[in-house]
Structure 1
Amino acid sequence: MRGTRNSGLLALGGIALAALLAVIGHVAVNEDLDPWTLTISDFAVSDRGGVIDVAMIVLAAATAVLLPALWRTHAPPANRAGRAAEALLVAWSGGLLLAAVVPTNEPGLPMDTAAYVHRYASVVAFLALPVAGWLLARRLPDAAARRVRALVTASLVLAAAMIWSAYPGDRLLLGLVERLLILTEVAVLVVVAVALLRRVTPARAA
Structure 2
Amino acid sequence: MSSVSLARPFAAAGFAAVFTGVLAVSALHVLPPTAAISPIRRTISEYAYYETGWVFNLGVLILAAGSLAVFAALAYAKLIRPASFASLGLLLWSAGLAAVVYFPKHDWSVGPSTHGTIHRMASLVAFLSLPLGALLVTVMWRRERRWRGSVWLTAIPALAALAFFSVIIGAYLLTPYTGPPWWDVIPLGFVERGLATFEVLTVLALGRWAWRAAAVPAPDDAPTPAS
Q: TM-score with structure 2 length normalisation?
A: 0.80
Q: Greater shift after overlay, 34-43 or 64-73? A: 64-73
Q: Greater shift after overlay, 195-204 or 116-125? A: 195-204
* Aligned partner of residue 186 in structure 2, secondary structure: coil
Equivalent residue letter for 2:74: L
**Does the aligned pair in 2 maintain the 1:158–1:180 contact within 8 Å?**
yes
TM-superposed CA distance for 1:73, in Å, is 3.1
Residue 71 of structure 1 aligns with which residue? 75
Alpha-carbon distance between aligned partners in 2 of 1:107 and 1:36, rounded to the nearest angstrom:
18
**Does the aligned pair in 2 maintain the 1:93–1:125 contact within 8 Å?**
yes
**Equivalent residues in 2 for 1:16-35, closer than 5 Å:** 16-28=19-31, 29-35=33-39
Q: Aligned Cα RMSD in Å?
A: 2.3
* Aligned partner of residue 106 in structure 1, secondary structure: coil
1:149 to 143, 149, 155: 155
Residue 153 of structure 2 is aligned to residue 139 of structure 1: no
Residue 48 of structure 2 aligns with which residue? 44
**Does the aligned pair in 1 maintain the 2:61–2:97 contact within 8 Å?**
yes
Alpha-carbon distance between aligned partners in 2 of 1:204 and 1:171, rounded to the nearest angstrom:
46
* Aligned partner of residue 180 in structure 1, secondary structure: helix
Equivalent residue letter for 1:18: G
* Aligned partner of residue 34 in structure 1, secondary structure: coil
Residue 129 of structure 1 aligns with which residue? 130
Q: Who wins on radius of gyration, i.e. which is larger?
A: 2
Residue 4 of structure 1 aligns with which residue? 7
Count of residues paired in the alignment: 203
Structure 1 unaligned spans of 5+ = none
Equivalent residue letter for 1:139: W
TM-superposed CA distance for 1:79, in Å, is 4.4
Overall identity of the aligned pairs, in %: 25
Residue 195 of structure 2 aligns with which residue? 181
Q: TM-score with structure 1 length normalisation?
A: 0.87
Residue 115 of structure 2 is aligned to residue 114 of structure 1: yes
TM-superposed CA distance for 1:113, in Å, is 0.6
Residue 59 of structure 1 aligns with which residue? 63
Structure 2 unaligned spans of 5+ = none
